[in-house]
Chains A and B, each alone.
Chain A
């Protein structure tokens, strides 16, 4: 079955450490997105990519970095510059520009600073 796989499901980060969240899709979707969700809050956009080797900052990109070397993969690195990284991170993808079906979401990664 096609879908989006996020790993790991839970991740613990020490102060000053960089960590990378994985997002892989086998839907052959062009565009991929990273959102952050804090408790009781909506989703805020971190980065997105509409095509391989290209990506754009979202509303809260500071302290994060991404790459899009393959269509299937869009990893997110949470750097030590992100001072409050504890949150639920969701990766999503969509097919063509018409968005008739909206986004498909992965199952999420819960990141905690220890």
Chain B
């Protein structure tokens, strides 16, 4: 059974600080997906990590994938209030549907 675990589930950060969200999964996979969800809204694709060692960056967010450790990280640099949202990681195996983690609710405070 595919399992995806994120931690922390809740994160309160001060503006300007750095932090990392972790995503562990239970079976081997070459691909890992990160999404952002604003309150009451749908999911927006942030990153698609296609292979071991992949690193992608967009603004203050950087995602990486270590398939051997079954771990992906989402690193936040110098957080700003606009980054407040819920972040989900998801993965699948072969052609199966995506399995999502429970999400990390991020709140950036002044």
Contact = CB atoms under 8 A, between A and B. Distances in A.
Nearest to A90: B42
Interface residues of A, number: 24
A19 B56 CA distance: 41
A42 B88 contact: yes
15 contacts: A33-B98, A35-B100, A40-B105, A41-B103, A42-B100, A43-B43, A90-B43, A100-B50, A102-B35, A102-B45, A103-B98, A104-B45, A105-B43, A105-B44, A107-B41
- Describe A's contact surface by its main secondary structure: loop
Interface in B47-77: 48, 50
A42 B102 contact: yes
Given A43-B100, A58-B97, A103-B43, 7 more contacts: A41-B102, A42-B88, A90-B43, A99-B48, A104-B45, A105-B43, A108-B41
